[in-house]
Structure 1
Amino acid sequence: MAEEKRIEEELTYAILLAERVRSTVDEADSFKAECNHVGKHVDTIVEKLRVQVRSAQSFYERPVRRIVTEVCNNLERALTLVRKCKRRNIFHRVVTIISATDFRKLINLLETSVGDMKWLCSILDSNNSNSGIVITLPPIASNDPILAWVWSSISFIHMGPLPEKIEAANQLASLAHDNDRNKQIIVEEGGVPPLLRLLNETTSPDAQIAAATSLYHLSNDEERVMTIVNEVGVPIIVKVLADSPMRVQAWVARLVARMAEHNSIAQDDFARENAIRPLVTLLSFETSSDDRKSLVGKQSIHSLVQINKEMEKNSLFDSKNNHLYRPYVSSFSSFHYSEGSSRGGNSQRRERENERPEVKLKLKISCAEALWMLARGSVLNSKRITETKGLLCLAKLVETGEGELQFNCLMTIKEITAAGESNADLRRAAFKTNSPAAKAVVDQLLRVIKELDDPKLQAPAIRSIGSLARTFPARETRVIGPLVSHLSNKSPEVAAEAAIALGKFADPENFLCNAHAKAIIEFNGLPPLMRLLRVNERTQLHGLILLCYLALHAGNNGALEQARVFNALEGVDQKMLAQFPDLKELVSKAIYHLKFYHTGPHSQRLLHVP
């Protein structure tokens, strides 16, 4: 109400100012023709201002404020000039000089104000008469037509009938897609709130898609995303994500992904609003039967009972923090969120099942991307994904998916495993050796590493295995061989990732570093590792780290001497060592260790590095 009163006060002030100008015109003694011309323009302005007063309570304010402010400035100029035409004493007549040029300038300004006011009224008339979006330009926006288009589109989203609202939202989406300046204008001119209302309050899928598309194009900047968050957009987006048709959900999931990518506060807010649950549900749509068959075929009855117990526990945990969705039921089918609970029964489920395959694929791609961005750099969100049994779904889609869907699922797994690497509790809870989900993930990661010849997919898969290095027992050497084989990969990126991953197996902080170092050598990892030192700076850096770890933990292995590791370490570029002090210390330790084992009578003694 305070905002409405303020805009009404501005309009009232403008009307009073115009009436003062009109009364002063009637009192003019000189330049009467020019003053009458001014009076006619002022009469038109007053008429249009009164129209705005009658519609101010429901009208879009931004153009009104801008235009009324400019109108008031011109009316004040008119009042100042017309006052000089009143009867005065001889002294004022001598020192006050008025020319026809002054009136021509004033008339031009008033004509501009008349044009602006007519444009405002035309928007109001077109909103009321269903005549379509106004494409004319007000004089105030003659130097920046984008501003007029934005004003017109936003006003239609505020007040127009549904078809025009959809057209206006699509117009904003097109403008936002063009460049960042247009995006900023849309946000600054108040375009976010009506787009959120259109997304939330309409039941038209076309309207929701148009609104979601516009918001998506606006969300490539931290500050603009923050505007959406501040307008309480996150709960609205999550609600639409859970309750809308699949083609709407696909766009909304993309919106979640982009907002989470560009703003960490939005990333946290989506998790707090429980966006992860519907995302996992939508991602796992039509995979439940396949998952059950595969797991029943591979797991014992005891394992299935344990899975159900874990799901019961997780559903209780989520229900304490969940105000939007029902908890999972206690059965194996609880892997999936109840379709009926979010869409209203079997008819909605049939509608989903009968949706076009390309729409289903687009939805899965968007949901996988959203989970990736929500998990990125967030231990808490990664934990939430694992608690919804998202790992099983991701593993299944890595196995059956292709292209962008497979890539997004792999990137989500990469983020979750990275969070597990940095957080022991998550690592122990989600990646236990006997966990069906963890086993499925590792199996698919190894399949990608061994069978697919695509660096874009192999790199995140290798990094994920490296992040899980501490979870593998010494006997689990099946992961070492594929990593070693990629040390000689023709892609330097994949080779570097293989060296990094193997370095995590042989890292002194890994309890089983000695066993893993010996396994790397047994898989003939030294020859490709030595070649890796000559590829580029990145591969040389990580290759040197791995080589030092092998020297420290398997220094008495004759393969090291045969591969001339000692000579390679002594010949390391001193500039690189100066650039990385930690590497310099590590190389020194490795050289000392190798000297102790491979020179003179000390070759069989055990070294304790101080």
Structure 2
Amino acid sequence: MAAKPSSAAVLPTSIPQKLQTQKQRAIEQQEKRIEEVLSYPILLSDQIGEAIKEVGSFKTECAEVAKEVDDLCKKLRAAVRLATSTTAGATFYDRPLRRIAAEVSKNLEKTLTLVKKCRRRSVLRRVVSIVSAADFRKLFALLESSKGDMAWVSSIFDAGGGIVLSLPPIASNDPMISWVWSFIASLHMGQLPDKIEAANELSSLARDNDRNKQIIVEEGGILPLLKLLKDSSSLDGQIAAASALFNLANDEERVQSIIDHLGIPIIVQVLGDSPMKVQIRVANLVAKMAKHCPLAQEDFARENVIRPLVTLLSFGLFMDDTKLKSGIQSIHSIVQINKELEKKNLYKPGSGSSLSMHGSNRKERRNEKPEIKLQLKISCAEALWMLARGSVQNSRRITETKGLLCLAKLVETEEGELQFNCLMTIMEITAAAESNADLRRATFKTNSPAAKAVVDQLLMVIKDSSDPKMQTAAIRAIGCLARTFPARETRVIGPLVELLSHRSQDVATEAAVSLGKFACPDNFLCVEHCKTIIEFRGVPPLMRLLRGNERAQLNGLILACYLAINAGKSQELERAGVLNAFEGVDRAFIAQHPELRELITQAVYHLSVFHQSHSGLLLAQRQF
């Protein structure tokens, strides 16, 4: 007998209005108590029994219907007892029962309609309301499907939390929904091994595709996963829960669902209290949630997640550092901060959670494998990167925890993914400082040990790294700090000028962008910086950059314009043929980038004043 297609299979083909109506009904169903949901099909069963007593035709078929409906009603009443029993308590998972009860109600409504057509009536009414044997065959198929669905949902609860992978008729066209129901039911009602297995299965399903993720969230999988994550009695359970949540959190709406279930305080608490292997998964979860949801960035910061991340990142960093004995202020301050953080509660008062690292917890950390310690730092650095991205407030919080010193030290001493994540975090902080004068003045003062350490490491990457990605990030960070450097800052501008000749056009272009921030009118020292760029022989490689791709040409032209406007008197500009380069710019290119028109006009004017007749100036101006 063909099972009735599940709603999950029908939804994709429905029109938008029908989708909205079904969604509204689903919301209304969820708001009702499960006893109310089950009372309606039971009432229909009673009405069918009364209607069958009055039938005048198809008495044999109606008697069989009565038996089927009676069996179904017994299953419904048993479900009510189960749902209201004291043993089920708060762990009762009613989502599949609600969906199945809704399907059963539809089938019972059809049954009642058909039975009423068989009641004793006049000959004329019987002719109008024609009933055939085929109608009863279809009806028996629907009732069998409903009985199968109720038997399946009973097996879920009778299994005592074990995983049931049989397929109910309601899910015949969409097996995924029944698997998700079974796994979530195990999370609610199973023993710890069952919960771990179920969380791992959900994690695997969520890894496959976004539709599976959405089903898990819609069917209520977030809350039991958070409860398992919070259960500190099982390391495997916490890892399984964190992995499942991580695989779900690749979309703003699903991250919002984790937030709505009050997941962020739980995540922050577990980050502080757990063994390193769990902390790695939780830090990864923090990074992914922050990456996909700006609200998560704010809520994590509000729950003070940045302090434990910085502390975990710096744990053990300077214990064996020979520089510690030299009395370097920045290193010494980090050590002192670590000691203070170990003594203090890293969370809000009353949270009952701290990252003390004392006693057995501290010993466990020291005895952990080096690769685990490294992976934890990599994960924490990525979390800080995602938290800082586009957020002035979070960047400020990182600097307030003295995280810049730790990040700079790791850029200096580490390599690979950890070094890259730390560098990207620094880049995001500098970008925030570029857009916020208060943060820039407070964090990147000339005499600040943290600022000096950061700039030193950025320059080290710019000069020594062979990885274009690393160089590009460091160049961008230096450019963001352009307004913090004093006049004739040769140790910064020199390396950037050298990169204008880099074999990678992307790196050379990024150097032009960064130098443009030194040379632009927004920089109070733009005239001095422009002179320094020219003194370091930056004009010839800049002219070569103008022959590159569109991005290289655009940013090269912008920098060349700034040099001409601020240092047009220089003979270097004339010898390099900058004026001719301006006059040779394609008009279509300028039309694509309107910001160039005024810049080039000003640049041509300044160059013509010092190096060319006024007739040449007029000719150039007419061109643009």
Paired residue for 1:552? Answer: 565
Q: Classify the secondary structure of the residue corresponding to 1:288.
A: coil
Deviates more, 1:381-390 or 1:503-512: 503-512
Q: 2:459 aligns with which of 440, 446, 466?
A: 446
Q: 1:123 aligns with which of 156, 163, 169?
A: 156
The one-letter amino acid paired with 1:577 is I
Q: Report 1:357-506 matches (<5 A).
A: 357-506=370-519
Q: Classify the secondary structure of the residue corresponding to 1:351.
A: helix
Q: 1:208 aligns with which of 238, 244, 250?
A: 238
Paired residue for 1:235? Answer: 265
1:558 to partner: Cα distance:
1.6
The one-letter amino acid paired with 1:221 is D
Deviates more, 1:498-507 or 1:192-201: 192-201
Judged with a 3 Å threshold, the aligned counterparts in structure 2 of structure 1 residues 290 and 593 are, in CA distance, closer, same or farther, namely: farther
Q: Classify the secondary structure of the residue corresponding to 1:377.
A: coil
Identity of aligned residues (%): 63
The one-letter amino acid paired with 1:55 is L
8 Å contact kept, 1:195–1:215? yes
Paired residue for 1:42? Answer: 69
Give me the whole-angstrom Cα distance separating, in 2, the residues matched to 1:99 and 1:21.
18
The one-letter amino acid paired with 2:377 is K
The one-letter amino acid paired with 2:219 is E
1:584 to partner: Cα distance:
1.4
The one-letter amino acid paired with 1:183 is K
The one-letter amino acid paired with 2:469 is K
Give me the whole-angstrom Cα distance separating, in 1, the residues matched to 2:351 and 2:450.
24
Q: Classify the secondary structure of the residue corresponding to 1:508.
A: coil
The one-letter amino acid paired with 1:548 is C
Judged with a 3 Å threshold, the aligned counterparts in structure 2 of structure 1 residues 284 and 556 are, in CA distance, closer, same or farther, namely: same
Is the counterpart of residue 8 in structure 1 residue 35 in structure 2?
yes
8 Å contact kept, 1:296–1:304? no
1:343 to partner: Cα distance:
5.4
Q: Report 1:16-31 matches (<5 A).
A: 16-25=43-52, 28=55, 30-31=57-58
Is the counterpart of residue 167 in structure 1 residue 197 in structure 2?
yes
8 Å contact kept, 2:304–2:346? no
Is the counterpart of residue 294 in structure 1 residue 327 in structure 2?
no
1:304 to partner: Cα distance:
8.4
**TM-score when normalising by structure 1:** 0.89
Give me the whole-angstrom Cα distance separating, in 2, the residues matched to 1:299 and 1:183.
50
Q: Which runs of 5+ in 2 are unaligned?
A: 1-28, 615-624
Judged with a 3 Å threshold, the aligned counterparts in structure 2 of structure 1 residues 481 and 117 are, in CA distance, closer, same or farther, namely: same
1:12 to partner: Cα distance:
2.1
Give me the whole-angstrom Cα distance separating, in 1, the residues matched to 2:243 and 2:298.
22
Paired residue for 2:288? Answer: 258
The one-letter amino acid paired with 1:587 is I
Give me the whole-angstrom Cα distance separating, in 2, the residues matched to 1:289 and 1:324.
31
The one-letter amino acid paired with 1:299 is I
Q: 2:138 aligns with which of 63, 81, 105?
A: 105
**How many residue pairs were aligned?**
578
Give me the whole-angstrom Cα distance separating, in 1, the residues matched to 2:331 and 2:132.
95
8 Å contact kept, 1:244–1:343? no
Judged with a 3 Å threshold, the aligned counterparts in structure 2 of structure 1 residues 295 and 101 are, in CA distance, closer, same or farther, namely: same
The one-letter amino acid paired with 1:195 is L
Q: Report 1:538-577 matches (<5 A).
A: 538-577=551-590
1:22 to partner: Cα distance:
3.5
8 Å contact kept, 1:126–1:134? yes
Deviates more, 1:380-389 or 1:280-289: 280-289
Paired residue for 1:589? Answer: 602
1:247 to partner: Cα distance:
1.0
Q: Classify the secondary structure of the residue corresponding to 2:319.
A: helix
8 Å contact kept, 2:334–2:405? no
Judged with a 3 Å threshold, the aligned counterparts in structure 2 of structure 1 residues 31 and 500 are, in CA distance, closer, same or farther, namely: same
Give me the whole-angstrom Cα distance separating, in 2, the residues matched to 1:196 and 1:407.
31
The one-letter amino acid paired with 1:442 is V
Q: 2:592 aligns with which of 574, 579, 598?
A: 579
1:581 to partner: Cα distance:
2.6
Give me the whole-angstrom Cα distance separating, in 2, the residues matched to 1:36 and 1:135.
34
Deviations 1:341-385 (A, max 9, x none): 425731001111112222222211111111111111111110000
Paired residue for 1:329? Answer: none
Q: Classify the secondary structure of the residue corresponding to 2:487.
A: coil
**TM-score when normalising by structure 2:** 0.87
1:387 to partner: Cα distance:
0.3
8 Å contact kept, 2:488–2:529? no
1:4 to partner: Cα distance:
8.5
The one-letter amino acid paired with 2:175 is P
Give me the whole-angstrom Cα distance separating, in 2, the residues matched to 1:444 and 1:545.
28
Root-mean-square deviation (Å): 2.7
1:145 to partner: Cα distance:
0.8
Is the counterpart of residue 63 in structure 1 residue 105 in structure 2?
no
Deviates more, 1:98-107 or 1:376-385: 98-107
Give me the whole-angstrom Cα distance separating, in 2, the residues matched to 1:91 and 1:508.
94
Deviations 1:437-491 (A, max 9, x none): 1111111111111111110111000000111111112253111111111111121
Paired residue for 2:536? Answer: 523
The one-letter amino acid paired with 1:80 is T
Give me the whole-angstrom Cα distance separating, in 2, the residues matched to 1:38 and 1:444.
81
Q: Which runs of 5+ in 1 are unaligned?
A: 327-339, 602-610
8 Å contact kept, 1:4–1:56? no
Q: 2:165 aligns with which of 135, 138, 141?
A: 135
